[in-house]
């Protein structure tokens, strides 16, 4: 098996066909060297480099459940609760090292959900989806693919079903069925790392009814299919990466790493039969969506915690630079940040530890606890960010540009009036302030705060699952038993 390095990953992207990529109204011919897009490539490349690093390969790599060969964990079908725990540990490490979204989680979570669902469809209908998907997983392992898990459709009028929309393309659907495959049309929104991926694994976005049969499609397509169009999403302060090297490095806050989202349009893409893993089985859409959501909600107990570690470190550092580190209220706020962050991690570990083996052979997290984990993620990162805002002070959003630090006419004033504790360079204080801005307001805030709220489903989606899964009647019996209340027969 191949475990690619970051360099080999970059080379594999260069080997793709030219893709239809647009940013700010212009077609982009070389996304790998684009100053805004390359930071997201750096984030994914780290997932490859750490798999080759002796210090991290114990958590970044594992043994294939199908072939027994050594593989990158991002291509793995989980075989134990230990696998689920190591996944969370891996995501926390990568969050700590990138400070942003590293874009491979969705594909890993999609693979495990599709693995379960195809097995169960075959059990009921005698189809061969699972065998097809196993072959696809082996390909992913052998090539160490980055896979973009595609679930979220634009949705149009949310009060209407997919087949009721005025524009039927607002959900990905089959427009033609032929002997050797299907043709699909539609779009997927908020696609994390789409342009940096080798493959798209497409899934339905909600539970479908019989009238939505054409929207019940799960399949895989190469990212460089000529019928796919990518429209790159804007992020706060993204144009700062276009500044010259030194000022851009300071003002963008996180000079090396970044995330990426895109609107991905499938404009009559042909999918061969062997790459179709669900095709009209509406009764299994709910199962696929539920399992994928559970895996992805577990993921947030790792990646967002890793980024949270950086926020805590930034709070402690800037309090030192500001001369406030010994203030009791500052210490108390940082302690609260740690408490919130470790609570999120505890949830990620808990839903992993309580996972169970499925009939397909891979392990699924405890779905109730995974939803509790993500529900906490919709809240706690915002409290952590609020405390960082408080500790940093307002200068992190009103500070002059790094160009004013390098301009001889203004440099002396910037150095004089933006200084902090004696012995700390003004430039270093500015760098830390810009990192904080990036984490809570800028590009990284997309991968931290916005994803915390909307990634893996809205807060209401988790509440619905919690309501569905909790056994309220059992809890009532506990209370009545202690109170010596007997139910009427």
Residue 465 confidence (pLDDT): 95
**Both structure tokens of 346:** 């505890």
Residues 227, 69: contact at Cβ < 8 Å?
A: no
- Summarised one tens digit per residue, pLDDT across range 38-79 is 999 999 999 999 999 999 999 999 999 999 999 999 999 999
Give the chain's mean pLDDT. Answer: 96
DSSP state of 212: G
Structural domain includes residue 241: no
Q: What is the pTM of this model?
A: 0.96
What's the CA gap between 70 and 19, in Å, rounded? 31
Residue 1 confidence (pLDDT): 59
Structural domain includes residue 108: no
Structural domain includes residue 14: no
What's the CA gap between 480 and 478, in Å, rounded? 6
Q: Which residues pair with 229 in a beta bridge?
A: 20, 265
Q: What is the DSSP string of 41-100?
A: HHHHHHHHHGGG-TTTHHHHEEE-TTT--EEEGGG----SHHHHHHHHHHHHHHHHHHSS
Give me the number of domains the chain comprises: 1
Residues 50, 94: contact at Cβ < 8 Å?
A: yes
Structural domain includes residue 438: yes
Which structural domain range is residue 344 located in? 288-478
Task: Write the burial class of residue 356 (CB in 10 Å: 0-12 exposed, 13-18 middle, 19+ buried).
Answer: exposed
CA dihedral of residues 245, 31, 190, 345 (deg, nearest 10)? -60
What's the CA gap between 271 and 183, in Å, rounded? 6
Q: Does residue 2 register a pLDDT over 90?
A: no
Structural domain includes residue 361: yes
Cα 438 from chain centre: 18
What's the CA gap between 359 and 296, in Å, rounded? 20
- Summarised one tens digit per residue, pLDDT across range 80-115 is 999 999 999 999 999 999 999 999 999 999 999 999
What's the CA gap between 395 and 392, in Å, rounded? 8
What's the CA gap between 117 and 126, in Å, rounded? 13
What's the CA gap between 378 and 466, in Å, rounded? 14
Helix or strand run (H / E) with residue 484: none
Cα 321 from chain centre: 32
- Summarised one tens digit per residue, pLDDT across range 276-308 is 999 999 999 999 999 999 999 999 999 999 999
Per-residue pLDDT band for 235 (boundaries 50, 70, 90) equals confident
Q: Which residues contact 445 (CB under 8 A, 6 or more apart)?
A: 236, 385, 438, 439
Structural domain includes residue 420: yes
- Summarised one tens digit per residue, pLDDT across range 404-454 is 999 999 999 999 999 999 999 999 999 999 999 999 998 777 889 999 999
Of 194-198, 334-338, 458-462, the range with the lowest mean pLDDT is: 458-462
Structural domain includes residue 429: yes
**Both structure tokens of 140:** 């992913």
Looking from the CA of 250 toward its CB, the CA atoms found within 13 Å total 18
Residues 204, 218: contact at Cβ < 8 Å?
A: yes
Residue 310 confidence (pLDDT): 98
What order do you get walking across the sheet with 262-272 strand by strand?
26-27, 20-23, 228-232, 262-272, 181-188, 173-178
Structural domain includes residue 326: yes
Catalytic residue numbers read 101, 105, 192, 261, 296, 300, 303, 451
CB count within 10 Å of CB 289 equals 21
CATH number at residue 298: 1.20.140.10
């Amino acid at each position: 098996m191949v475990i690619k390095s970051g360099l080999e990953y970059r080379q594999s992207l260069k080997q793709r066909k030219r893709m239809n990529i647009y940013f700010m109204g212009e077609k982009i011919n070389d996304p790998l060297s684009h100053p805004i897009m390359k930071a997201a490539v750096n984030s994914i490349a780290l997932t490859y480099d750490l798999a080759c690093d002796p210090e991290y390969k114990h958590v970044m790599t594992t043994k294939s459940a199908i072939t027994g060969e050594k593989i990158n964990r991002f291509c793995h079908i989980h075989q134990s609760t230990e696998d689920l725990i190591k996944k969370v540990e891996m995501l926390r490490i990568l969050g700590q090292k990138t400070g942003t979204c590293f874009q491979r989680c969705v594909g890993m979570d999609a693979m495990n959900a599709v693995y379960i669902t195809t097995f169960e469809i075959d059990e009921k209908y005698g189809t061969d989806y699972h065998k097809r998907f196993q072959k696809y997983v082996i390909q992913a392992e052998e090539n160490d693919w980055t896979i973009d898990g595609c679930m979220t459709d634009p949705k149009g009028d949310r009060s209407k079903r997919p087949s009721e929309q005025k524009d039927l393309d607002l959900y990905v659907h089959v427009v033609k069925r032929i002997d050797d495959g299907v043709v699909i049309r539609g779009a997927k929104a908020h696609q994390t790392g789409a342009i940096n991926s080798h493959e798209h694994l497409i899934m339905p976005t909600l539970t479908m009814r019989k009238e939505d049969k054409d929207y019940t499609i799960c399949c895989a397509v190469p990212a460089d299919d000529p019928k796919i169009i990518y429209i790159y999403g804007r992020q706060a302060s993204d144009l700062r990466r276009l500044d010259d090297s030194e000022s851009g490095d300071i003002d963008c806050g996180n000079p090396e790493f970044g995330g990426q989202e895109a609107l991905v349009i499938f404009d009559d893409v042909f999918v061969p039969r062997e790459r179709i893993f669900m095709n009209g089985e509406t009764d299994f859409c709910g199962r696929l969506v539920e399992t994928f959501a559970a895996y992805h909600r577990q993921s947030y107990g790792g990646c967002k915690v890793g980024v949270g570690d950086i926020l805590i470190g930034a709070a402690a550092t800037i309090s030192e630079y500001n001369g406030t580190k010994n203030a009791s209220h500052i210490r108390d706020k940082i302690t609260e940040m740690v408490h919130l962050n470790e609570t999120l991690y505890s949830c990620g570990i808990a839903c992993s530890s309580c996972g169970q083996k499925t009939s397909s052979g891979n392990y699924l997290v405890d779905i109730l606890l995974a939803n509790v984990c993500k529900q906490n993620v919709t809240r706690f990162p915002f409290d952590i960010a609020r405390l960082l805002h408080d500790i940093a002070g307002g200068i992190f959003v009103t500070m002059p540009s790094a160009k004013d630090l390098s301009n001889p006419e203004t440099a002396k004033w910037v150095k004089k009036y933006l200084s902090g504790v004696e012995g700390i360079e003004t430039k270093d204080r500015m760098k830390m302030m810009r990192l904080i801005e990036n984490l809570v307001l800028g590009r990284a805030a997309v991968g931290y705060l916005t994803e915390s709220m909307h990634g893996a489903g809205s807060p209401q989606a988790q509440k619905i699952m919690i309501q569905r899964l909790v056994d309220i009647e059992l809890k009532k019996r506990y209370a009545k038993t202690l109170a010596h209340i007997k139910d009427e027969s």
